[in-house]
Structure 1
Amino acid sequence: MTDVDTASRDRLTVAVLAQYRMATTEQMHLILSPDVRIEQTRRRLVKLRGEGLINRVTLPQAGRTRVWYTTRYGAQVASEWPELRGRRPPRGAHDRTAVRLGVGHGLTVTETALAFLQDARRHGDLCQPLDWIPEVHHPLGGGEAVIPDALLYYRSHDTGTGEADSSGDGAGGSMLRAFVEVDRATMGPERLAAKLGAYARLHQYIPAPPPGTRRTLTVPEESWRRRYPLFPRLLFVLDGTGPAGIHTRLTALQAAARQPAHTALLHDIPILAAPMTDLLRHGPAAPIWHPIGGPDQRVGWMHTRHTLPGPTTGAEPRAAAPTTAGHRPDWSQLRT
């Protein structure tokens, strides 16, 4: 049984790296085995590297932090597993130089995933490591597509959670889905706000039938309905800038939300934005999120579109205790 457990944990380790693209040793430890000593995680990573399934780069500017990723062989092996079938890694996912140059954004996305995983554990909700799926491709036609930084699946034990984008799963909870965009202030506020337009198009996009297709009486439907029973909510995580920069980016998002083309999207789902610093300090469930297109309040990410709470007071949200004391990495120096 011990051998079976070891193989299962090895498999999950490779699967997480194949899906997340990259993670540090500490991130892998907290994602997979926070209840054991980190030395066990290190030994597992070293063993899998020796088997040619994963590799690492070392970042001297970050205290010689080791960043792990799958090799081409490891990704090929993982792609045959049912939980990862059909997911193609982006170009450069197995190249040492590409990984090194992409750590600023890649590790921040992984850190965002970790925040949701830890929050689920604290609250007794269900969110497994593979429920965070980066870069899911959503075609818009004409060669264009919406590719969020991640798609999140999350089941809350609270039956009153969610509305516009949640569905009961028959197990005494609500299933939530979210598109997550991690913004590190590497693009201007206008380009960030333009992402609202892309999601509004996806919300209404109906693919044209292939040439020569016979006309039927079937009512055409939006392409996203083939994947999701309800359109996922949209979360913006803002990083890489101070309070003034956060305010500027929130203002740009609020201005974009007033465009008539975005009305249907804003009516159907919550669109929220929060600073990364608040996410790490208080946890995603805390009232740290600013509703885009809504009143000037702060809410939790699972709030419903139509039941906003009253105005927030000046009190700070209660901080969530980190799984590992002092785990507050700063990737701001790794911008590449």
Structure 2
Amino acid sequence: MTSQPQPTKPGRTAWVRAKAYPNGSTNSVREDVLTALGVLKVATADQLHRLLRSHLSSNKSIRAALLDLQLNGLTASDGNTAARHKTWRLDGPAGLDAAAHVLELARSDMGGTARGAGRTGAPHAMAVNETILAFVRGGTTDGATGGIGMVTSWSTETEFTLPGGKRKVRPDAVLQAPEIGMPVLMVEVDRSTMAPARVAAKLPAYRELFLRQVRDYSPTTPDRTTAWWRQAYPGHTRDGFPPIALVVTGTGPQALTNRLQAIYDLSREYFLPRRRKDQYGEDSWCDYDDAIPVIATTLELLQQYGPMGEVWWRFGRADHHLSLLDALEDWDTKAEYDERARIRSEEIAAENRRKIEAKEKKEKERIARGCRNCHQPVEEWRRRYLGDNGEDPLCFDCQEEELAGRRPKAEAEAEKAAEETAEQPAEEPKKEHTWLQRVFKTDFSPDRDPW
């Protein structure tokens, strides 16, 4: 017979807590905490609360789950942030295995435990976490846009090997959001602690990474090779490489604007498209096959207005207030040029049709008028024989009359020309030379004195 819980106060029931979880955390909260730490690697209870249970007034349930997981050897705390918030991470292989089980990932895909990162406060990891929070939760101001995806849409500490196998590219975070037409977004968080030249130097490494080819045995691939990112993150519909988002923070608004401009100036050759002209040199378009789409904003604007707000600057464009989808759209593309060419060809075809119709109308009017002298109908064969000289044709009788009137004048002009020819003296026939004279340029005529 099971014993019923005894009420400690009227209207309340005292529940016995499990011995393994004396802080009273629930399975769902513990699983969510393991999921978040498996993605973020290191985070504070406040960040986990805003990411997982923002509808609750406090982070008590998150802290209870962290303590219970710590008692079971799955989480650990190394130190505090600058704001005196305790940092938490997964603890050892057991913590990684538990997070991998919840995330349904292989143990090899989990990365490390970020051991020791909390001893210095993990300032960079905290900035990356705040960036992910802004993407997932959306803006905080009234009327701000919502977020994108979930915490499982992200990954951190992801390493990509460059050709040669010795060098690697490691973005701060990677977002996969195919639901908005963005299969992958590489995110770089800059806390203004390094020179702009070092930030700009990451773009050539990304470009080298995006150019890496892998084998593809799909029947739709003619040369059996494709870019690795198209194979790893399928669904790309835009030309060019995957986009990179640059989020800056750590100083004032004007300093951040100047910093972005400096990075822009140092990396122009990697994000600007190439201008292509048509065969006539009359029109052109931008070729994005070798251009990296770089979008930039500040962490403060991202937190206020959300990722879908008008906070993005697409490098290469003058507008600094674009939404995410507008910033990712290319401008002056080949498709736009093809549309302009189609419209031009349709206009030319319409103009040609108009000219043909006008000519046919004029011809019909000429046929209706008939002979230009007597206005009698003119036979079709006579119209074709006389051709189109811009005048109405003549009937047979009118043409005979016109020719009879022109004949005396033509005869008089012929007689005058014959008289002028007769009056001119006859030209002396040109003396012919033998081949010997032509070769030696010498006159061997008998009347010439050779001496």
Shift of 1:242: 2.2
Q: TM-score, normalised by structure 2?
A: 0.55
Partner of 1:324: none
Q: Which digits, 9 at most, give the CA deviation of each residue in 1:65-94, with x for residues without a partner?
A: 11111101211332345533241324xx35
Asked if 1:149 is matched to 2:159, the reply is no
Partner of 1:48: 69
Q: In 2, Cα distance between the equivalents of 1:265 and 1:101?
A: 42
Q: In 2, Cα distance between the equivalents of 1:233 and 1:29?
A: 30
Partner of 1:251: 261
CA spacing shift, 1:195–1:262, aligned 2, 3 Å: farther
Q: In 2, Cα distance between the equivalents of 1:67 and 1:77?
A: 19
CA spacing shift, 1:139–1:187, aligned 2, 3 Å: same
Q: In 2, Cα distance between the equivalents of 1:197 and 1:265?
A: 16
Asked whether the equivalents of residues 15 and 84 of structure 1 are also in contact (C-alpha less than 8 Å), the reply is no
What secondary structure is seen at the aligned counterpart in 1 of 2:30? helix
Q: Which digits, 9 at most, give the CA deviation of each residue in 1:253-278, with x for residues without a partner?
A: 32244216864768766321111121
Partner of 1:224: 229
Q: Which has the higher contact order (CA 8 A, sep 6+)?
A: 1
Asked if 1:282 is matched to 2:305, the reply is yes
Q: Which digits, 9 at most, give the CA deviation of each residue in 1:192-218, with x for residues without a partner?
A: 111221222222222599xxxxxxx74
Partner of 1:305: 329
What secondary structure is seen at the aligned counterpart in 1 of 2:310? coil
Shift of 1:301: 1.9
Q: In 2, Cα distance between the equivalents of 1:11 and 1:203?
A: 35
Unaligned runs of 5+ in 1: 167-174, 210-216, 309-336
Partner of 1:117: 136
5 Å matches for 1:60-99? Answer: 61-62=82-83, 64-72=84-92, 73-81=94-102, 83-85=104-106, 86-90=108-112, 93-95=113-115, 97-99=116-118
Question: Could you say what the CA RMSD is over the residues aligned between the two structures, in angstroms?
Answer: 3.1
Which amino acid is 1:17 matched to? L
What secondary structure is seen at the aligned counterpart in 1 of 2:184? strand
Partner of 1:39: 60
Asked whether the equivalents of residues 79 and 120 of structure 2 are also in contact (C-alpha less than 8 Å), the reply is no
- 1:236 corresponds to which of 246, 250, 256: 246
Partner of 1:202: 209
Shift of 1:50: 1.4
Asked if 1:21 is matched to 2:41, the reply is yes
Q: In 1, Cα distance between the equivalents of 2:269 and 2:26?
A: 53
CA spacing shift, 1:131–1:99, aligned 2, 3 Å: same
Asked whether the equivalents of residues 200 and 262 of structure 1 are also in contact (C-alpha less than 8 Å), the reply is no
Q: TM-score, normalised by structure 1?
A: 0.73
Q: In 1, Cα distance between the equivalents of 2:289 and 2:225?
A: 22
Which amino acid is 1:251 matched to? Q
Partner of 2:198: 191
Q: In 1, Cα distance between the equivalents of 2:74 and 2:233?
A: 33
Which stretch of the first structure deviates more once superposed, 243-252 or 270-279? 243-252
Identity within the alignment, %: 29
Asked whether the equivalents of residues 269 and 305 of structure 1 are also in contact (C-alpha less than 8 Å), the reply is no
Shift of 1:155: 5.3
5 Å matches for 1:122-201? Answer: 127-142=149-164, 143-154=166-177, 166=181, 175-201=182-208
Which amino acid is 1:66 matched to? K
Q: In 2, Cα distance between the equivalents of 1:306 and 1:104?
A: 34
Q: In terms of Rg, which structure is larger?
A: 2
Q: In 1, Cα distance between the equivalents of 2:245 and 2:79?
A: 31
Unaligned runs of 5+ in 2: 1-17, 19-24, 217-221, 274-286, 333-451
Which amino acid is 1:255 matched to? D
Q: In 1, Cα distance between the equivalents of 2:90 and 2:226?
A: 38
Asked whether the equivalents of residues 273 and 289 of structure 1 are also in contact (C-alpha less than 8 Å), the reply is yes
Partner of 2:30: 10
Q: Which digits, 9 at most, give the CA deviation of each residue in 1:269-312, with x for residues without a partner?
A: 6321111121122222221111112224321222242369xxxx
CA spacing shift, 1:107–1:260, aligned 2, 3 Å: closer
